[in-house]
């Protein structure tokens, strides 16, 4: 196992006099005391209050050891109920920290304490965060490092956490209210006349006109990439803004382990270190066969461990641009604190393509194929659909939604919203699917009857398995980009049983009303998913929307079906690309109540299910 753990660095930024080279306390051992409170911060020149753990943003690094039993006493000094969820940690339901779903847990009330206690059954890089209200957005998140009992299958000399997050000076309740009124409120990169002229020069008038007609008929935007962007967000690296940056030292010739964690509320980051190759050695805390890349996309809640080997006494920029190319987080690896490296320009703003809409327009490499006649899609015009009046936004109440304590969000109920007429969409061709890389049988797309109701305005016609597709904005960029197809379990698949049964779930939404759901049903209206202890499931997620969704199943591993059933990589969070499908196997080995949801914070209210294992 590598050394130099004292090199782990995270940089808080508060009104206190701290430098960017200092980090919050690293708490190590078996017993921990965590205090939840408010702390003054200033990231943009405007003082604000953040939600912190022990006065730190990010929260302290928690360092555990595999095989130990840890005790964490959490005291809530906030004015509202709170909680901590240990993301990706395998533990009893009662310790999972999700109010109203974890067995017997209803949150930690103001002024009260709760003691979490559980055995540590794994090793690797993880994180923790609040599962109450929007506290995760306001700063309640931190890293977890679990040292293994056995030697690691790689060596390194220095070890750093690199945690990305997104900060807004706005009240998250106001952010959500704006999205409810206008879903593209924060999108300042819509296509312009300049883009149209460029398309005509490159594609010709006829192809451009056909393409524009299709998008206009559907009332969809090719740049619907991220709901909240750098026009309100400041992207942080270990609590540092891009202006200051976080800094990690190295000595020439050392191997440096970087533990990347995406602790943001709403942001996908595309990460690279110009001048350095990155060898990916772990995904979501689990060892994978090493793969060398130039760049990787990290979804909300994912973690990747990489090793880099700087060969020169120089500085390198850790560059993490958001998926919408509206801003970036950055850090610096350097052999000398006086050295800085150039910061790359943001890549061009990408456009969603036909495949991202769920059309069968992609070849096996994820490249878009020639255009097609979209006249059959004329029924997808949404502007004239009844029930689209967005002016009445006064009754939006989420207080009774299990899994999150929404006591601070008092006016937000969507139950009585008038419907949209989707009768024109019922004739859409549900084509036969291509088989997945894992050779399971072809299947037609299944849409529940509820999906044609008020909670859905997008349906993927032919969603494909696209494991080797790096995703919109990363295709053909001249860099070697990590894909899920690259991930292979370093050991072997933990459970070789064939699935006892299969479950298909559709990720659905209505962008006009900013309503998110699974199978067209939001969480408050949905029946729990009931699983039997000991069974082996295949879960197939079909993304009927044009946005990426990082899906997180609590309490159990997701064995991602990437083509080699003997080496299925284990993940706790899986990105489902727009207009695609993806499958993984789950061994149901954890009794009790569990949350299963999209980890985009403002999607989680509806795109959520309770799982009951009995």
113 neighbors 76 (Cβ within 8 angstroms):
yes
Q: How far apart are CA 10 and CA 166, in angstroms?
A: 15
Q: What is the DSSP letter of 108?
A: B
Mean pLDDT in each 10-residue stretch from start to end of the chain (614 residues)? 39 39 75 97 95 96 97 98 98 98 97 98 98 97 97 96 96 92 67 55 64 55 77 94 94 96 97 98 98 98 98 94 96 92 94 73 41 31 34 38 44 36 31 38 57 72 90 94 97 94 93 88 93 97 93 98 95 96 97 98 95 97
pLDDT of amino acid 180: 87
User: Taking Cα atoms as reference points, which of 43, 97, 99 lies closest to residue 72?
Assistant: 97
pLDDT of amino acid 194: 59
- Residue written as token pair 């706005």: 170
Q: How far apart are CA 188 and CA 326, in angstroms?
A: 8
Q: How many residues does the chain have?
A: 614
**DSSP, residue by residue, 539-566:** EEEEE-SSS-EEEEESSS-EEE--S-TT
HSE, side-chain direction, 13 A CA sphere, residue 233? 31
Crossing angle between the packed helical segments 205-218 and 193-203, to the nearest 10 degrees: 130
Structure token digits, residue 596: 């299963």
Q: What is the DSSP letter of 484?
A: G
481 neighbors 467 (Cβ within 8 angstroms):
no
7 neighbors 249 (Cβ within 8 angstroms):
yes
SS3 346: coil
| pTM beyond cutoff 0.75 | yes
13 neighbors 239 (Cβ within 8 angstroms):
yes
Burial class (CB in 10 A: 0-12, 13-18, 19+), 5: middle
Structure token digits, residue 470: 């790096």
pLDDT of amino acid 239: 95
Alpha-helical (H) ranges within 457-599 are none
> Phi and psi of 195, rounded to 5°?
-65, -40
Structure token digits, residue 5: 């753990």
> What separation in angstroms does the CA of 457 have from each of 364, 507, 518?
28, 12, 13
Structure token digits, residue 54: 């022990």
């Amino acid at each position: 196992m590598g050394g130099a753990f004292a090199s782990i660095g995270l940089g808080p930024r508060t009104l206190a006099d701290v430098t960017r080279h200092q980090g919050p306390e690293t708490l190590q051992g078996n017993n921990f005391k965590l205090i939840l409170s408010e702390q003054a911060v200033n990231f943009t020149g405007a003082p604000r209050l953040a939600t912190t753990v022990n006065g730190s943003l990010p929260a302290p690094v928690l360092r555990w050891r595999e095989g130990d039993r840890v005790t964490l006493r959490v005291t809530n000094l906030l004015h509202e109920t709170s909680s901590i969820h240990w993301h990706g940690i395998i533990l009893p339901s009662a310790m999972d920290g999700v109010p109203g779903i974890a067995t017997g847990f209803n949150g930690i009330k103001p002024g009260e304490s709760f003691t979490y206690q559980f055995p540590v059954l794994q090793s690797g890089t993880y994180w923790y965060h609040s599962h109450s209200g929007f506290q995760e957005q306001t700063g309640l998140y931190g890293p977890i490092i679990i040292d293994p009992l056995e030697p690691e299958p790689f060596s390194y000399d220095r070890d750093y956490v690199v945690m990305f997050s997104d900060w807004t000076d706005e009240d998250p309740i106001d952010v959500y209210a704006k999205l409810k009124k206008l879903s593209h409120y924060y999108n300042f990169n819509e296509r312009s006349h300049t883009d149209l002229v460029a398309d005509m020069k490159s594609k010709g008038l006829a192809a451009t006109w056909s393409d524009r007609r299709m998008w206009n008929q559907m009332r969809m935007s090719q740049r619907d990439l991220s709901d909240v962007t750098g026009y309100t967000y400041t992207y942080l690296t270990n609590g540092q803004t891009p202006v200051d940056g976080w800094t990690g030292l190295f000595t020439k010739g050392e191997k440096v382990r970087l533990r990347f964690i995406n602790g943001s509320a709403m942001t996908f980051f595309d990460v690279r270190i110009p001048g350095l190759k990155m060898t990916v050695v772990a995904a979501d805390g689990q060892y994978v066969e090493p793969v060398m890349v130039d760049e990787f996309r990290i979804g909300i809640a994912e973690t990747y461990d990489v090793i880099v080997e700087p060969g020169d006494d120089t500085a390198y920029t850790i560059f993490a641009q958001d998926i919408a190319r509206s801003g970036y987080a950055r850090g610096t690896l350097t052999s000398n604190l006086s050295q800085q490296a150039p910061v790359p320009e943001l890549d061009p703003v990408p456009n969603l393509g036909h495949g991202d809409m769920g059309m069968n327009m992609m070849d096996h490499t994820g490249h878009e194929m020639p255009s097609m006649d979209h006249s059959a899609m004329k029924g997808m015009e949404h502007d004239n659909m009844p029930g689209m009046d967005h002016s009445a936004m006064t009754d939006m109440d989420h207080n009774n939604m299990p899994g999150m304590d929404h006591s601070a969000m008092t006016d937000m109920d969507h139950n009585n919203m008038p419907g949209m007429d989707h009768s024109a969409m019922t004739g859409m061709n549900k084509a036969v699917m291509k088989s997945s890389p894992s050779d399971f049988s072809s299947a037609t797309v299944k849409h529940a009857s509820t999906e044609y109701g008020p909670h859905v305005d997008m349906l993927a016609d032919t969603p494909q398995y696209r494991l080797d597709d790096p995703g919109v904005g990363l295709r053909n960029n001249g860099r070697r980009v990590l894909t899920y197809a690259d991930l292979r379990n370093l050991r072997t698949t933990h459970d070789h049983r064939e699935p006892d049964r299969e479950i298909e779930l559709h990720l659905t939404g209505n962008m006009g009303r900013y309503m998110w759901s699974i199978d067209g049903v939001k969480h408050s209206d949905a029946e729990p998913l009931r699983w039997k202890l000991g069974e082996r499931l295949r879960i197939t997620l079909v993304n009927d929307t044009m946005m990426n969704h990082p899906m997180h199943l609590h309490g159990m591993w997701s064995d991602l079906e990437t083509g080699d059933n003997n080496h299925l990589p284990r993940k706790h969070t899986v990105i489902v690309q727009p207009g695609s499908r993806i499958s993984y196997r789950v061994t149901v080995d954890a009794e009790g109540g569990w949350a299963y949801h999209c980890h985009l914070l403002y999607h989680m209210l509806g795109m959520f299910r309770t799982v009951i294992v009995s």
